[in-house]
Structure 1
């Protein structure tokens, strides 16, 4: 089953876009306009075949879309087909927005593998812009209508439900993040205080050692003298010479 907004209609649009290649030779870079069935009147589709290398190195301009260089295709294919979709006056049917009015139609470009131009129900390729973003130039924008917006028509196909609640859950999540932030912040502050205390103590010890070394340098140095076959420090002569006891005998 098709569960997306366009659902099976998206697969159908890809099929009708590929039918535009029904000719002997398909030229790369040319736009081939497709035809939709009567029940989809108002939707415009077209297809363009490109080489992946040229698409990556040169980019492409495709109707309202300006795809820059360095846009990668995943998974990689040698050739790809860009299918253009313009939902026209059916935009509000596929994408209903209560209380809003579309000033431009919903447009899109989908990428598919070009290995088989008659294939249907192909998986979409992913386009990843590594440098500049993909631009959309809306050339025709309607003026803003006066008064309240008209009610949208009944949606076509399946439209996913959009949850409207969740405010309380978001508030609880915010409180959890605040508590976690406070705990982490307190732990980081405790580590910083411990590091600061260690650094101050180390600085005091270093200063004390420098003071002791300086005091040692100021003291009197011992001279070296030879004692036998070795050299050893010896003290200089004392200021008070020793006096023999017999020198005081009268």
Structure 2
């Protein structure tokens, strides 16, 4: 088995709000991976004493532990329990009902000798390569669909429109403090003997395909296999620098935290 990962903040002056980890048991063919992309808060009050790096470290650690040790729980149940556990770690001064309480997108995968399970929430991505070479992206497309709709609005109104749809019915969802959000996740499974590789990506890394159009999903996985996750992040950084003001490739920020995890079976 080959496991490689890279995670880089968008700016060296700011903390990385992504989280990535892989767990393998001492024996057997099982394992789990987690990639979280923390949602950068606005400069105004978020109602919480904790920052996004604090949140993703605790949620990610809980997800890795639960998905590995509680094989009797589905991945959705693991996420629900991890969200609850992280919410309990907040102090009494934290307003967990605040719409910008610390939160994150989620990619979670788990495998054993029989099955590869997956869960995706919001706009991070999981690529599943089967033994015939087919690469299938597992995506939660709600936010992208809303962004497309928001393009019909005046530019000054787009951000506020999307913000009003965060974690609301008819909108898009991230893991924050409500364990019920797990019902909104994209879940599924694939027979283990049909899977050749997995790639988990924060949206800072998926820019290679989704923003800069440097290749398709199969090309992205081929780059990971041939040159490694660090090379993918470097290619994204080069593309960002070449279009610093977002003229050719519009995006919310010039550079974003970028994380990629490759698991080859």
Normalising TM by the smaller chain, what interval? under 0.3
Who wins on radius of gyration, i.e. which is larger?
A: 1
Query: Comparing both structures, which one devotes a greater share of its residues to strand?
Result: 2
Answer 1 or 2: higher relative contact order, Cα 8 Å, separation at least 6.
2
